[in-house]
Each structure stands twice: as structure tokens, then as C-alpha cells.
């Protein structure tokens, strides 16, 4: 371990999970403490290497928790102290209205619900000891009582005084350090790993900083200080990096949704012999996985690129900033930010090009994987305008309108395109919902038209197909004109049934069935069948593209000239 001997540690990109830990480690240490290759500097390093000074790992436990506290401003501690101004404003009043009372009672609920949590209660003694104070927080919380009448000025003032004392307590240096750290553990860190250190329910150490240091930092320093002659005697190697290890002490079972307990499930490894043991260096890197991912509650995302540390860090940092600065914490913004990041430097000379980008999402306690190949990236770039239009659009798959079942149209499109699946079935579903006239989400026929255009770009780029110019616009416009004819004959009520028949035919690629309905429609209005429909029958993909565009025009709005 020559690099370690020279007081520097060289780490290299590997699989997606290790890379997430590597990005997290770099973010925690800060960019002043690490060195990696860019197009302009550090040419002594390879693009997949990062050099870190051993001295940067001093007080790492403090840096570890500070990163999460500073990055995730939606932690309970941040929310609690954010009421400080509101308490001060209400204290200055001598008369109150209903809105003041509602705000006060809301604050009382929020403080009670949070400060009584076990994770909070466990650190109160540590804070009192560190700050050398004596404040019975639980007793203070009990004194908080909701007020029902604005005339109860004295009761309101008493509650505000208690809230002020609680906020002062929360603003103490040790309160922020320990309470916010506990918030970070259960809101962010636990998404990635569990069962060890401060997340071991059997741990006897009350101080989470000390617990983390004992399990990850002390063992790290012990390992890198081992004499070279001694380490040559080690007969085992790290599963992740191949460094020598003395014993099979640490494995990857603490990583959630990816590791396993080898004692309980030995059949998960070849010949019942577990070889997934890791060195203390890799264990420390894996502990930083939560800092590499971007989390919104129990959902997370990480973008994996193996060709460059610089781009790996840059893109994930931009995604994190975009998502966490969004007031709605919309993970869909991660995709738009990813595409923006990829192409903002496309004219810049670089020693690599983007290809096979891996998107890892944590959803429902499972990791989902998408690969964005070079062709898929081109499709998404060409579809930027259409994707931007649908980014906030969604639908419910059932009439229950259960928000837990809400499906993001933007996310669904990216998922299908990334997995080489056309958008026809999604387009068919949305058109059926629109025909049924049920308000099952936030989308319209213009949304569907964007999906047809995106699908067209996909077929052109990935399937290498050619389509008539302005196919979508022309077919959509013809559907709109037929709708006008039916309206003129006061027969618009028939369009729903007609649309269902057309969608049924399109779903199974039944050209004869589709044309039977079309011919009847145009005989009814005494008009010739449009040329764009007849010519579309020559090819299955052209037929479905023109057909869905036609139905979208038939049930929705269109521009007056049939432009794309």
C-alpha cells in the first residue's frame, strides 16, 4: 500500500454502490481535501482516480454528520427552529385573531410530535451534559396546551414562552449537533445501511459521533498504519478492492437492499462459503453511500458514470442541488438536470464521451436500474422540449385517486425509453382516460401529443426508422377536422364510442378494424378519408403513430394548420 505510506490514499471507481460511496466521501471531505483528474489539471492521475490526504480523515465523524445536517434542510431540527420568527412576532402582540391561534396550535402540535420521539429523547441527557444545563424538556412539552379562544391571552403568552424556551434549547450548539444528527440518521442515512454502529439496536454507546468513529474511523486508521511486512502475511483479500485483510471480520450485510446476513443465508454464496468480506477502507467508503445518493424521504437516486470522477461528482452534485432546492422536492427534476448536465459541455474538448449512463433509484425499499445508452441519450436530447412540457404531469391508474399510486408521466417515459420500450401502451392508456372524461390526473391531449413525438424520436434513432415529414401534426389536425364535422352535425356525443373503437384497433395493430371505423366516420360526414391515414397503412409503426395522433386530435384540441 505505497500510496498510504506516502500519506495519501488513492481510490478508484468501481461498481455503482462503491461509486456512490466514493462521491459521498468526496462531498463529506470537501473538494479542497481531494484531488482528481479533470480536462485541465491533475494529469498525473487517471480519470477514474481520486487522491485523498490521510490527514483529511481527522475528525471525519464530525464532517460526516455536518454534511447531512447542512445539505438536508428539511430535517425536523431545521423545521423546529424555523418557527423562531413566528414565536417572536406573536409575543409582541397583545390581541390575537383566529389565524394567530391556528398558527400557535400548529406549532404546539409540531413541537409535541417531534420532541417526544425516542430519537430526540435519547440525546437530551448528552446535550444537558455538554452544555452544563438542566432543562426537563419532556416536562416543558407537557405544559404546552392548545388554546381554543383568542380571548385567552394569558394562555397564549404562556405557550409562546414555553416555545421560546424550547427553541433556545434547540439553538444550542450541542442540540444542533446531536438532534439534527439523529434526524439525519433516520431520515437519510438509514435509507442506505442499518444494523451497525449507531443503527445497531444493541449498541451501548449513546453518542452517535463516538459510535461512528469506533466502527468506521478507528478501524480505518488501524488498518492504514499496519506495517508493510505485517500486511504481506495476510491470507485473505477484500472482496471490493483486493487489498489484503487479516480476518473475515467485516462484510457487506449492513448495506440495505443489497447485502445479506451470511450467517442466516449461507446459500446466497457459492458452495456456502462467503467471500464478500471487505477491508476497513472500503467499509468506510460504503458508509458514505447515503451522501452519494440524493434522497427525498424514502426515495433516492444516484447517477453512475465510470469514465470520470470529475463528471461522476459534478452530475450528482447538480442533481442533488436541483432536487433539494425544489420546494416540492421533485425527484423528476433529477432527470432533467442529468440531461442538462450531460449536454451543457458537449462542445468542450474531453477525453471521453457519455455512454451507458446508469441511473439507480431507490423506491419502495428496492433498487431500480436504468441504462441510458448513447442512442437513448440522443433520443432524450432531441426530445428536450417535449420532456420539459410533461415534467409535472401525472395520472392515477384507477378511479380511487390514491396519491400513493400516482404515476409521473415524465418518469414513466424515461423509464420506458431507457428500457427500450415504446410509448404506445402509455399513450393508449392516457387517451382512454381522456375519452372517459374522468379527471384522473394532471395531463391533456397536448401531453399525449408530446409523448407521440418522443416515441417518434425513439423509433427514428433507436429503431433506425424513417417517417413522413410532419406525420404527427397532419394526422392530429385531420382528427381535429373530423371532430369539427361531428360538432357541426350535433353528433359530438358519438366521438367517445368511436375513439374507443379506434383505440382498441390500435392496441392490437388491427388495421382492418381501424379502417372500418374510419370509413364509416367519413361516410357519415360525406368527406374523403385523409391521405395521411391511407398512406400510414403501409407500415405498422407509421400506422400506430398516425392513428394515435389522429385520435388525440379527435378528442382534444389542435393547432389550426397541423404543425408539429
What strands lie across the sheet with 49-53, from one edge to the other? 8-12, 49-53, 34-36
- What is the pLDDT, as a whole number, of residue 329? 60
Q: What is the pLDDT of residue 3?
A: 58
Between 213 and 258, residue with greater pLDDT: 213
For the chain, percent of residues with pLDDT exceeding 70:
90
- Could you tell me if residue 124 is inside a domain? yes
At 356, which helix (H) or strand (E)? Answer: none
Q: What is the pTM of this model?
A: 0.84
Average pLDDT over residues 13-25: 96
Q: Give the three-class secondary structure for 252.
A: coil
Whether 434 is covered by a domain: the verdict is no
Q: How does pLDDT run across 245-266, given as a tens digit for each residue?
A: 998 888 898 999 885 555 565 5
Mean of the pLDDT values across residues 307-320? Answer: 90
Provide the pLDDT for residue 350: 43
Task: Give a yes or no: residue 385 inside a domain.
Answer: no
Task: Please give the share of the chain, as a percent, with pLDDT higher than 90.
Answer: 67
> What are the tens digits of pLDDT across the range 276-300?
799 999 999 999 999 999 998 889 9
For residue 393, being part of any structural domain is answered with no
Query: In the structure, what pLDDT confidence band is assigned to residue 560 with cuts at 50, 70 and 90?
Result: very low
Q: Choose the weakest-confidence range: 37-51, 119-133, 325-339.
A: 325-339
- Whether residue 280 is contained in a domain is answered as no
Range of the structural domain that residue 161 is part of: 76-187
Mean predicted confidence (pLDDT) in 371-390: 88
- Among the listed ranges 163-167, 258-262, 363-367, 511-515, which one has the minimum average pLDDT value? 258-262
Confidence of residue 333 (pLDDT cuts 50, 70, 90): low
Q: In what order do the strands lie in the sheet with 394-395?
A: 407-408, 394-395, 441-442
pLDDT, tens digit, for every residue of 27-68? 999 988 999 988 778 888 888 899 999 999 999 999 999 999
The answer to whether residue 89 sits within a structural domain is: yes
Residue 99 falls inside a structural domain: yes
**Calpha distance 413→390 (Å, rounded):** 10
3-state SS of 124-178 is HHHHHHHHCCCCCHHHHHHHCCCCCCCCCHHHHHHHHHHHHHHHHHHCCHHHHHH
At residue 418 the predicted structure's pLDDT band, cuts being 50, 70 and 90, is confident
Task: Give the bridge partners for 430, in sequence order.
Answer: none
Give the total number of structural domains in the chain: 1
Whole-angstrom Cα distance, residue 92 to residue 284?
Answer: 50
The 10s digit of each residue's pLDDT in 503-537 is: 999 999 999 999 999 999 999 999 999 999 999 99
Cell numbers describing residue 210: 463516538
On whether the CB atoms of residues 313 and 26 are closer than 8 A, the answer is yes
Amino acid at each position: 500500500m505505497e500510496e498510504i505510506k506516502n500519506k495519501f490514499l488513492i481510490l478508484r471507481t468501481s461498481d455503482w454502490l462503491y461509486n456512490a460511496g466514493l462521491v459521498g466521501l468526496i462531498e463529506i471531505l470537501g473538494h479542497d481535501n481531494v484531488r482528481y483528474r479533470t480536462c485541465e489539471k491533475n494529469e498525473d492521475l487517471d480519470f477514474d482516480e481520486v487522491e485523498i490526504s490521510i490527514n483529511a480523515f481527522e475528525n471525519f465523524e464530525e464532517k460526516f454528520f455536518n454534511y447531512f445536517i447542512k445539505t438536508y434542510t428539511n430535517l425536523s431540527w431545521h423545521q423546529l427552529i424555523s418557527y423562531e420568527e413566528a414565536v417572536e412576532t406573536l409575543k409582541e402582540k397583545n390581541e390575537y385573531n383566529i389565524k394567530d391561534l391556528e398558527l400557535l396550535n400548529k406549532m404546539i402540535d409540531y413541537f409535541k410530535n417531534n420532541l417526544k420521539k425516542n430519537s430526540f429523547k435519547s440525546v437530551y441527557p448528552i446535550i444537558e451534559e455538554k452544555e452544563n444545563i438542566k432543562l426537563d424538556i419532556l416536562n416543558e412539552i407537557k405544559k404546552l396546551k392548545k388554546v381554543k379562544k383568542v380571548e385567552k391571552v394569558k394562555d397564549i403568552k404562556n405557550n409562546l414562552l414555553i416555545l421560546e424556551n424550547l427553541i433556545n434549547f434547540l439553538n444550542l450548539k450541542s442540540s444542533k449537533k446531536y438532534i439534527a444528527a439523529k434526524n439525519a440518521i433516520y431520515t437519510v442515512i438509514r435509507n442506505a445501511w442499518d444494523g451497525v454502529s449507531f443503527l445497531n439496536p444493541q449498541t451501548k454507546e449513546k453518542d452517535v459521533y463516538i459510535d461512528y468513529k469506533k466502527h468506521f474511523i478507528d478501524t480505518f486508521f488501524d488498518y492504514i498504519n499496519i506495517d508493510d511486512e505485517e500486511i504481506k502475511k495476510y491470507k485473505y483479500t477484500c472482496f471490493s478492492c483486493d487489498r489484503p485483510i487479516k480476518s473475515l471480520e467485516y462484510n457487506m450485510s449492513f448495506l440495505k437492499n443489497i447485502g445479506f446476513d451470511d450467517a442466516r443465508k449461507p446459500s446466497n454464496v457459492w458452495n456456502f462459503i462467503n467471500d464478500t468480506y471487505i477491508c476497513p477502507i472500503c467499509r468506510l467508503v460504503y458508509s458514505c453511500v447515503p451522501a452519494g445518493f440524493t434522497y427525498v424521504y424514502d426515495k433516492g437516486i444516484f447517477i453512475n458514470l465510470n469514465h470520470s470522477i470529475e463528471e461522476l461528482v459534478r452530475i450528482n452534485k447538480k442533481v442533488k442541488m436541483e432536487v433539494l432546492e425544489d420546494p416540492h422536492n421533485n425527484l423528476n427534476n433529477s432527470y432533467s438536470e442529468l440531461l442538462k448536465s450531460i449536454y451543457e459541455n458537449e462542445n468542450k474538448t474531453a477525453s471521453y464521451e457519455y455512454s451507458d449512463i446508469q441511473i439507480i433509484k431507490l423506491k419502495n425499499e428496492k433498487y431500480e436500474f436504468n441504462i441510458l445508452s448513447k442512442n437513448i441519450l440522443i433520443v432524450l436530447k432531441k426530445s428536450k422540449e417535449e420532456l420539459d412540457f410533461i415534467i409535472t404531469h401525472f395520472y392515477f391508474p384507477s378511479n380511487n385517486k390514491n396519491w400513493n399510486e400516482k404515476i409521473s408521466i415524465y418518469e414513466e417515459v424515461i423509464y420506458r425509453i431507457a428500457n427500450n420500450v415504446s410509448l404506445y401502451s402509455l399513450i393508449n392508456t392516457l387517451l382512454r382516460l381522456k375519452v372517459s372524461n374522468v379527471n384522473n390526473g394532471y395531463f391533456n391531449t397536448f401531453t399525449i401529443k408530446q409523448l407521440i413525438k418522443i416515441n417518434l424520436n425513439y423509433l427514428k434513432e433507436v429503431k433506425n426508422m424513417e417517417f413522413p415529414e410532419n406525420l404527427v401534426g397532419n394526422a392530429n389536425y385531420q382528427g381535429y377536422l373530423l371532430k369539427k364535422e361531428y360538432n357541426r352535425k350535433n353528433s359530438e356525443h358519438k366521438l367517445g364510442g368511436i375513439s374507443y373503437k379506434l383505440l382498441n384497433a390500435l392496441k392490437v395493430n388491427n388495421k382492418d378494424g381501424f379502417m372500418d371505423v374510419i370509413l364509416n366516420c367519413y361516410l357519415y360526414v360525406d368527406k374523403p378519408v385523409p391521405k395521411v391515414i391511407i398512406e400510414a397503412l403501409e407500415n405498422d409503426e407509421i400506422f400506430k403513430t398516425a392513428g394515435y395522433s389522429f385520435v388525440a386530435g379527435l378528442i382534444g384540441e389542435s393547432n389550426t394548420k397541423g404543425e408539429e
